[in-house]
Amino acid sequence: MNSKIIGTGCFIPSVVTCNDSFSNHKFLDATGSVIAQPNDIIIEKFKAITGIVERRYAKPNVSTSDLAFYAAEKAIADADINQETLDYIIVAHNFGDVKSGSIQSDMVPSLASRVKNSLGIKNPKCVAYDILFGCPGWIQGVIQAEAFIKAGIAKRCLVIGAETLSRVVDVHDRDSMIYSDGAGATVIEATEEEQKGIIAHDAVTYANEEAYFLYFGKSYNAELPDSTKYIKMYGRKIYEFACTHVPAAMQSCLDKSGITIDQLKKIFIHQANEKMDEAIIKRFYRLYHKEVPAGIMPMNIHQLGNSSVATIPTLLDMVKKGQIEDQNIEIGDYIMFASVGAGMNVNAIVYRV
């Protein structure tokens, strides 16, 4: 018994925030000192490294669970199923519902229970729960859904990645320009078709000196209260970690699948940083002494920014529906999903469309 994706959906928030929106920000370094470079230079360097030109933010009255619900509705409609037939709803996120202007995360009840309530599902056998796994959370949710299906305890699962990172950023930290909001959802179903759906997967956690590469910390502005925490990261350490460990996990996953690297048609990698993603893909192909094929890595980070767990399912939905220029997938294609994030967690899936 294999597991395949039978429906996808995403919700892209309508508030567009361009790079020039940060022109008047007071950017500080970790010591609290004003960064010497003018903001236009900071922004230009940021764009050159990340590829991000604009990002999307949720409207003030919209929460992470709302975004998840909107994406879920679209995935269920795309799958053309009765939502009462879902056995599991798995929502990957990192910060729960954070109200606009608030400093408190709300995770009770779980976001998955909120989504189930919003969908109006009455079936108590539809089990709803959240998963916290950093940016690789959606992939890990898919891996869990496949485990339930292979174990015979589920036939159909809804896996969602949703986040409102714009509400947990320190406006004085230039890394705040990376983050965005959004949601992507997929319906996973059991299939008896051989060599269809999930072919192989791999996941690892490095939690020794790497555990706190991403963390919650105080603002760089010493005038703000220490008790208020924001998402923080050691960018250089994350870059070096990702460039070493993500290609290795991808290689492990590909070798388990039994296919060759030349058979891969697309790689859907977490949209975190364009230069980092390009370096990861290059090192992955170098492990097989191959050059990176043109067009292998679809991207939407330029317009959507880094929405954490939402980036891959959003990208998958957009490519599937012809919304990314010169990118498409067809029946029979082998594709790969790969991600890295807080924890530090890395995972990958080889999938046949």
Spatial distance between the Cα atoms of 188 and 313, rounded to a whole number of angstroms: 12
**Residue 194, pLDDT above cutoff 80:** no
Give the pLDDT confidence score for residue 118 in this predicted structure: 98
Spatial distance between the Cα atoms of 67 and 51, rounded to a whole number of angstroms: 24
Q: How far is CA 93 from CA 5, 138, 173, 265, in A?
A: 20, 8, 22, 28
In this structure, how many other beta carbons lie within 10 angstroms of the beta carbon of residue 82? 11
What type of residue sits at position 64? T
For tokens 């899936």, the residue is: 349
**Residue 225, pLDDT above cutoff 90:** no
**Residue 103, pLDDT above cutoff 80:** no
Phi-psi region of 101 (alpha: psi -120 to 50; beta: other; left: phi over 0): left
Query: Which domains, ranges and CATH numbers included, belong to the chain?
Result: 2-194 (3.40.47.10), 198-352 (3.40.47.10)
Strand duo 181-191 + 88-92: pairing: unpaired
Phi (first) and psi of residue 113, to 5 degrees:
-65, -35
Q: DSSP code of 331?
A: T
Spatial distance between the Cα atoms of 149 and 3, rounded to a whole number of angstroms: 7
Q: Which pLDDT tens digit goes with each residue over 150-190?
A: 999 999 999 999 999 999 999 999 999 999 999 999 999 99
What type of residue sits at position 235? G
**Residue 192, pLDDT above cutoff 90:** no
Tokens of 235: 């960018």
Confidence of residue 346 (pLDDT cuts 50, 70, 90): very high
Tokens of 45: 């360097």
Give the pLDDT confidence score for residue 2 in this predicted structure: 86
Q: Which pLDDT tens digit goes with each residue over 257-312?
A: 999 999 999 999 999 999 999 999 999 999 999 999 999 999 999 999 999 999 99
Spatial distance between the Cα atoms of 197 and 349, rounded to a whole number of angstroms: 10
Give the pLDDT confidence score for residue 224 in this predicted structure: 86
